[in-house]
Amino acid sequence: MHLFNWNNAVSSDTIKRFEAECKCKVQETYYGSMEEALAKLTAGAKGFDVIGPSNYGIPPLAKLGLLQPLDKAKLPNIRNLNPAFANTPLDPNNQYSAPYDFTVTLVGYNADKLKSLGIDPTSWAVVFDPKLLAKLKGKVTVLDDPREVIAAALRYNGFSANSQKPEELKKAVATIKAAKPYWAAFNSQSYIKELTLGNIWVALGYSNDLFQARQDAIKAKRAFRIDYTLQKEGNGMTADSFVIHKNAPRPDLAHQFINFMLDGKNAAGITNNVGAGNPNAAAKPFIDKALLAVPAINPDAEQVKQLEQLTDLNAATRRAWNRAWTDIKVGG
Amino acid sequence: MRNNRLAKWLISGPPLLYLLLFFAIPSAIMAFAAFRFPGDYGGLLPLMDVNPDTGKTELLINAANFREFLTLENFARFFQEPVFFELFIKSFWYAGLTTVICLVLAYPLAWLIARSPKKHRDLLVLLVILPFWSNFLIRVYSWMIILGPQGYFARSINAVLGVIGVGPVQLLFSHFAVILVLVYVHLPFMVLPLYANLEKHDMNLLDAAQDLGANAWQRFWRITWPLSLPGVWAGAALVFIPALGMFAVPDLVGGTDGIMIGNLIKQQFLDSRDWPFGSVLSIMLTLAVLMLAGLATLIGRGGKRNAL
């Protein structure tokens, strides 16, 4: 069974248990951003059975005819889904997809450093306000991902993370350009390591990655603590789902895998091992109590209101975002 | 006579076919893509589609509507916005600087290896290529650890700088890091052609020069250096061209303003769903390199004429 998925999404433990159950071998291939995955799939990458895209990646994949509808008869466990995550506008009636986790894009930080500097990480200002950044110069990284960084800048300016308005995009880009000279790098690959080494103090990143950074710092017995928090201006949130490739060599194993991952206990493993939020209602009893207390994993009703699921932008807006991103990356 | 010609074709055929299949045709596809529009979900706006009524594949483009499918806008964008030209200049500067530093570092090393006892030379050459035994990315990641503010290297440097009263410098995520790693990665490509050239020099020439009263500098500058020029050019090409297109190094150790032209091209294909503009950038890069190579050839020819 060939799985094309986010790095750091499903633990090797879970994969091993599935391999024992299906008596098959799971071959995993990873990607670091949704756009990278889309680029490879549209270019005709073949041989994958199950793909684990972010939900905003599902409409393009479906419109390109790269997905096959799920056979619900083979997925009895799909009833375990939390209704809040089932049947979303990105995939009505879960025709193609079954969600397995959600991640929030937020700020991870070196708790001791920020405390000594007197900086409050619960606002996006810590990433975007030049006044605060003056104290953090060269110690901040943001994801190398236009969708996530522009969404955060939009929320910081009080707009929707899915804004399609050119003037709002303009403001967000101005915010990013003003902050960029203070950032160390655009980094989606090594920010977990840089945080746990103490090389950087603030990272705009994914909740599951920052969970790992926190665990790594504890395991390495660092003199400082890594923590992460939601921002009061609101955060972008992305559910990730499993879908089956149109030309999957083994659709039978693909369904078996998705049903396996929808089982409460297996689904809970995603949260327990990777620190992602869980869209599976049956998983809750199996999730560590300590993790349920983390807002980015188990947000309360108030916090849920501030989380905005990223949608697929229309073509004109996306082109404008991408051009803006090129200008941001090239401009001095 | 005929057999001779057949042999020529048999020998040159496979490499020609290879170049045609994997260079000429893809380049032509890329050149065509540069005039098209991006597709909504990546790739290119299709020129043909399956007609839902007939089930047949039909060409969408025709004489009346070709402006909806073909455009000069991608090229216009490149020439209208100076940032792209600036990025080209910067990338050429990075690659050029890398080449010069590699040459300065590699020349003495290659000379020493070429002049060492014959039984040691193979071992020394082996040591030069030893780093290739570990993966390129692992070597770059090692530099990230060395250059990181918490690494011993960076801490030692900053401790020394602190004594003379200069504030701590950021080594990782900087221009310095990009150049340093580019030099590190490409150095063997400069050493090897230089060594291959220097090893063949006839030592009698230097002895003769010495007998005629040339000092060490004159012997180097008037004999060794001109004779080694083919090796210098080969090494420079092997370093300059890959360094120019590099995207992994700036991605990993460069800061927010450390990107090179390779990063921008990669971004168009992998992040921005804009293959046409990525094609324009690739074509411009190829043209720029060709122009540079042409210029170098011209200068080389001029030099030879003068020597005669």
Please name the member of A190, A322, A330 whose beta carbon is closest to the beta carbon of B87. A330
Domain count, chain B: 1
What's the CATH code of the domain at B193?
1.10.3720.10
* pLDDT(B218) > 60: yes
Q: Residue ranges per domain, chain A?
A: 2-102+238-299, 103-236+310-330
CA distance A304 to chain B (A): 29
Compute, in degrees rounded to 10, the torsion defined by CA atoms A258, A259, A264, A270.
-10
Residue B69 counted as domain residue = no
Q: Residues of B with CB below 8 A from A318's CB?
A: 273
Beta bridge partners of A219: none
Residue B88 counted as domain residue = yes
Quote the domain boundaries for residue B89. Answer: 82-307
With cut-offs at 50, 70 and 90, classify the pLDDT of residue B308. Answer: very low
Residues 49-68 of A with CB under 8 A from B: 60-61, 63-64
Please name the member of A183, A184, A315 whose beta carbon is closest to the beta carbon of B40. A315
Beta bridge partners of A4: A29, A51
Residue B60 counted as domain residue = no
With H, G, I as helix, E, B as strand and everything else as coil, classify residue A271: helix
* CB B94, CB B254: distance < 8 Å: no
Instruction: Compute the count of residue pairs across chains A and B with CB atoms less than 8 Å apart.
Output: 95
pLDDT the model gives residue B303: 57
CA distance A324 to B240: 30
* pLDDT(B115) > 60: yes
Least confident stretch, A159-168, A232-241, A299-308, B163-172: B163-172
CATH topology of domain A103-236+310-330: D-Maltodextrin-Binding Protein; domain 2 (3.40.190)
- Provide mean pLDDT across the span B242-262: 91
Q: Residues of B with CB below 8 A from A184's CB?
A: 170, 172-173, 255-256
CATH topology identical between A2-102+238-299 and A103-236+310-330: yes
CA distance A102 to A297: 8
CA distance A104 to A299: 10
pLDDT the model gives residue A223: 93
* pLDDT(B147) > 80: yes
* CB A142, CB A204: distance < 8 Å: yes
- Of B143, B135, B93, residue with least CA distance to B254: B143
* pLDDT(B37) > 70: yes
Which of B74, B263, B272 has the most A C-beta neighbours within 10 Å, making it the best mutation to test the interface with A?
Answer: B272
CA distance A40 to B195: 41
Query: Each residue of A155-170: pLDDT tens digit?
Result: 999 999 999 999 999 9
How high is the ipTM of this complex? 0.82
Residue B136 counted as domain residue = yes
Compute, in degrees rounded to 10, the torsion defined by CA atoms B145, B146, B148, B153.
150
Residues in chain B: 308
Cβ partners under 8 Å of residue A113, min gap 6: A139, A201, A224
CA distance A330 to chain B (A): 7
pLDDT the model gives residue B45: 84
Please name the member of A33, A185, A197 whose beta carbon is closest to the beta carbon of B271. A33
The 10 Å Cβ neighbour count of residue A280 is: 28
Q: Is A275 left (phi over 0), alpha (psi -120 to 50) or beta?
A: left
CA distance B257 to chain A (A): 6
DSSP string, A215-236: HHHHHTT-SS-EEEE--TT-EE
Please name the member of B149, B254, B270 whose beta carbon is closest to the beta carbon of A39. B270
- Of A142, A259, A260, residue with least CA distance to A200: A142
- Of B211, B218, B235, residue with least CA distance to B103: B235
CA distance A60 to chain B (A): 6
Measure CA of the first residue to CA of the last residue in chain A; give whole Å.
Answer: 46
Q: By CA distance, what is A183's nearest residue in B? A: B256
Q: Residues of A with CB below 8 A from B170's CB?
A: 138, 184
**Residue % of chain B over a pLDDT of 70:** 97
Tokens of B270: 């992998």
Q: Residues of B with CB below 8 A from A35's CB?
A: 270-273
- Of A75, A53, A54, residue with least CA distance to A252: A75
CATH class of A2-102+238-299: alpha beta
- Beta strands A27-31 and A2-6: pairing type? parallel
DSSP string, A122-176: TSTHHHH-HHHHTTTTT-EEE-S-HHHHHHHHHHHTTS-TT---HHHHHHHHHHH
* CB A330, CB B257: distance < 8 Å: no
Residue B275 counted as domain residue = yes
Q: By CA distance, what is A197's nearest residue in B? A: B150
Residue B93 counted as domain residue = yes
CA distance A255 to A96: 11
Residue B73 counted as domain residue = no
* CB A40, CB A65: distance < 8 Å: no
Judge: B41–A332 Cβ closer than 8 Å, yes or no. no
Query: Each residue of B38-69: pLDDT tens digit?
Result: 887 777 888 877 777 777 888 888 888 888 88
Q: Residues of A with CB below 8 A from B281's CB?
A: none
CA distance B17 to B21: 6
What value, to the nearest 5°, has the Cα angle with vertex A123 and ends A119 and A127?
Answer: 75
CA distance A170 to chain B (A): 18
